[in-house]
């Protein structure tokens, strides 16, 4: 364990905020960084719980739009359909996540080589999809048809493998099915809210007995910094991908995954 776990928790909180909503796998980055920094949280709860800070960032950025949808839902079918589309997309990963929770936390989270390989493979996929994306048919993330939302949700289940990326899986799925680059990113934002809130609640329920005052302090620091950093990233990301696409993140994944593999093979 590092001599200064609070400092490491702060670094990891910033890393979470920077990577949660871009398709590079925040969990993969956190687990690899924790491995090389000698940081291991009780029950791997820190890495899951601080993601709620990023969820609050989405709520703060989209507060006005989400409140308008909530107010309109009793009378507006389009508002109800949007809410239902997010819930439909959320269900596949929720079901698989509950069934495979122990495997994910005790095996997949503890295999840094797998995480590095998935970063590289995901980067290659992202580069290919960014170049070969089909004709755009869906421009508004708040008007995705329910069958499209369900298929995006099925793609999201792939992200239960650390290194794949929740945002990366949902964005790739949306792009392949005709969503614009901006709409794909926005729907990934909206889908993150029930997904990460559910992961937070379930993981905390499973592991709360493992948390002492030190672990709670680490979570609080990581949570706060994840929130602040994620707000900045969300505001920047939509404009960037609308103009430049996702190639930068594909190359970033390949670079980080390759560097991590090299370090692991060198014995670090």
pLDDT of 216-251, one tens digit each?
A: 888 888 889 999 999 888 888 888 988 888 999 999
Contact 58, 193 (CB under 8 A): yes
Among the ranges given (43-57, 59-73, 120-134, 188-202), the one the predictor scored with the smallest mean pLDDT? 43-57
- Name the β-bridge partners of 138: 179
99: domain range?
5-265
41-57 CB burial, b ≥16 within 10 A, e <16: bebbbbbbbbbbbbbbb
The residue-averaged pLDDT of 20-37 equals 89
14 CB-side CA count, 13 A: 5
pLDDT in tens, 113-149: 999 999 999 999 999 998 887 788 999 999 999 999 9
Closest CA to 152 of 172, 138, 136: 172
Write the CA distances from 153 to 145, 159, 185, 268, integer angstroms.
Answer: 12, 10, 14, 36
DSSP codes of every residue in 153-191: HHHHGGGGSTTS-HHHHHHHHHHHTTB-HHHHHHHHHHH
Count of domains forming the chain: 1
Cα distances from 173 to residues 44, 70, 215, in angstroms, run 28, 27, 36
DSSP strands (E only) in 165-256: none
Q: How far apart are CA 58 and CA 114, in angstroms?
A: 29
| Per-residue pLDDT at 265 exceeds 90 | yes
Confidence of residue 2 (pLDDT cuts 50, 70, 90): low
Residue 3: DSSP 8-state:
S
């Amino acid at each position: 364990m590092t001599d200064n776990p609070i400092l490491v928790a702060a670094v990891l909180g910033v890393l979470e905020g920077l990577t949660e909503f871009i398709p590079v796998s925040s969990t993969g980055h956190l687990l690899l960084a924790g491995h090389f920094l000698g940081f291991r949280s009780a029950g791997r709860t820190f890495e899951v719980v601080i993601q709620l800070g990023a969820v609050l960032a989405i709520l703060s950025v989209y507060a006005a739009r989400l409140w308008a949808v909530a107010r309109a839902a009793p009378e507006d079918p389009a508002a109800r359909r949007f809410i239902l589309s997010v819930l439909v997309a959320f269900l596949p990963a929720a079901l698989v996540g509950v069934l495979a929770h122990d495997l994910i936390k005790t095996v997949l989270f503890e295999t840094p080589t797998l995480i590095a390989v998935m970063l590289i493979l995901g980067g290659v996929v992202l580069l290919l999809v960014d170049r070969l994306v089909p004709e755009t048919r869906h421009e508004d993330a708040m008007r995705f048809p329910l069958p499209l939302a369900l298929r995006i949700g099925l793609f999201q289940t792939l992200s239960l493998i650390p290194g794949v990326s929740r945002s990366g899986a949902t964005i790739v799925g949306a792009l392949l099915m005709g969503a614009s680059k901006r709409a794909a990113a926005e729907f990934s934002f909206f889908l993150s809210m029930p997904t990460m809130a559910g992961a937070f609640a379930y993981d905390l329920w499973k592991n709360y007995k493992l948390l002492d005052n030190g672990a709670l302090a680490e979570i609080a620091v990581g949570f706060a910094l994840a929130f602040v950093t994620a707000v900045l990233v969300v505001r920047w990301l939509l404009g960037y991908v609308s103009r430049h696409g996702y190639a930068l993140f594909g190359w970033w994944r390949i670079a980080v995954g390759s560097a991590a593999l090299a370090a692991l093979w060198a014995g670090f």
